């Protein structure tokens, strides 16, 4: 049974056992505009919570995507290379960025639930 949590930097994490799927939220893709490029890390790379994980580029901006939790990158969504717009179309589904093998579940537990994230978004506008 998977569970999805959110960060203040507009990443989401969907945890399935010890595999976490990470991407950016619908709010983030809307703010960015048309995504033209996603720079993904190498498989095998160790990431720490809050550290650089990926880069997402639209025509006008380049944004760092931070690792919402620590672990090892076990898979990246190489399909985004040919179709970066998937991030805009289906950010929480086919537009995922990378999968991390999680070491410390408590990092995940401390993140925001969907309801908390939606409340957080209201404070931004």
Partner 1 sequence: MRYLPLTEADRADMLARIGVASIDDLFADIPVDKRLTALPDLPLRKSEMEVERLLARLATENIAAANVPFFIGAGAYKHHVPATVDHLIQRSEFLTSYTPYQPEIAQGTLQYLFEFQTQVAQLTEMEVANASMYDGSTATGEAVLMAHRITRRRKAVLSGGLHPHYAQVVKTLSHMSGNTVLSLSPDVTAREDIIALIDKETSCVVVQTPDVFGNLRDLRAIGEACRAKGALLVAVFTEAVSLGLVAPPGAMDADIAVGEGQSIGNGLIYGGPYVGLFAAKAKYVRQMPGRLCGETVDAEGKRGYVLTLSTREQHIRRDKATSNICTNSGLCVLAFTIHMTLLGEAGLTRLARINHANAVKLADMLSGRRGVEVVNGTFFNEFTLRLSRPAAEVVERLAKKGVLGGVPVSRLLPEAGLDDLLITASTEVNTEADRLAFAKALGEVL
Burial (Cβ within 10 Å: 0-12, 13-18, ≥19) of residue 65? buried
Check if the beta carbon of residue 72 is closer than 8 Å to that of residue 46: yes
Nearer to partner 1, 15 or 76 (CB): 76
Q: What does the binding site for partner 1 look like in residue numbers (CB under 8 A)?
A: 37, 39, 42, 55, 57, 60-62, 64
What is the Cα–Cα distance from 16 to 31, expressed in whole angstroms? 28
The nearest distance, CB 42 to partner 1, in angstroms, is 8
The nearest distance, CB 64 to partner 1, in angstroms, is 8
The nearest distance, CB 62 to partner 1, in angstroms, is 4
Nearer to partner 1, 4 or 31 (CB): 31
Which residue, among 43, 13, 10, 16, has the nearest Cα to 28 in the 3D structure? 10
Nearer to partner 1, 62 or 110 (CB): 62
């Amino acid at each position: 049974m998977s569970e999805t949590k959110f960060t203040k930097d507009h990443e989401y994490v969907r945890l399935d056992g010890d595999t976490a799927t990470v991407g950016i939220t619908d709010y983030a893709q809307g703010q960015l505009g048309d995504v033209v490029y996603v720079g993904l890390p190498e498989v095998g790379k160790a990431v720490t919570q809050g550290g650089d994980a990926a880069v997402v580029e639209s025509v006008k901006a380049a944004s760092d995507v931070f690792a919402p939790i620590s672990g090892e990158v076990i898979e990246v969504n190489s399909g985004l290379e040919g179709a970066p717009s998937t991030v805009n179309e289906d950010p929480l589904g086919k537009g995922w960025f990378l999968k991390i093998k999680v070491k410390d579940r408590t990092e995940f537990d401390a993140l925001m639930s969907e309801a908390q994230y939606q409340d957080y978004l209201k404070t931004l506008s």
